[in-house]
Amino acid sequence: QSVLTQPPSVSGAPGQRVTISCTGSSSNIGTHYHVHWYQQLPGTAPKLLIYGNINRPSGVPDRFSGSKSGSSASLAITGLQAEDEADYYCQSFDTSLTTSIFGGGTKLTVL
């Protein structure tokens, strides 16, 4: 059981918008620590998608956006494309565990 809770799966048709939630607590997302998001395409290593809650690394399309409010965070993907089909993970720091933590991951299916 992960400290950060994500839906196991989400789906959407090409061109649609989907969101993936990441729910934590007052000891992780609810602190000043940032939330980061990763995309893991099948058979590959994860790739940093969003850092510092809302920032995109160079090369990540602006179809991907992140937000944080209270003890939760969200990843939004607009204009869904077949190539977006992947697993997505949120990550933060937990002040009680004093270590990094990941969400359980969400599998995005593009219908």
List of residues contacting another protein (CB under 8 A): 2, 33-34, 36, 38, 44-48, 51-52, 57, 89, 91-93, 97-105
Q: Give the nearest distance from C-beta 43 to another protein in angstroms.
A: 10
Nearer Cβ to another protein (36/68): 36
Q: Give the nearest distance from C-beta 45 to another protein in angstroms.
A: 4
Nearer Cβ to another protein (11/100): 100
Q: Determine how β-strand 72-77 pairs with β-strand 18-23.
A: antiparallel
Question: Helix or strand or coil: residue 83?
Answer: helix
Q: Give the nearest distance from C-beta 101 to another protein in angstroms.
A: 6
Q: What is the spatial order of strands in the sheet that 72-77 belongs to? A: 18-23, 72-77, 64-69
**Burial tier of 111 (Cβ tally within 10 Å: 0-12, 13-18, 19+):** exposed
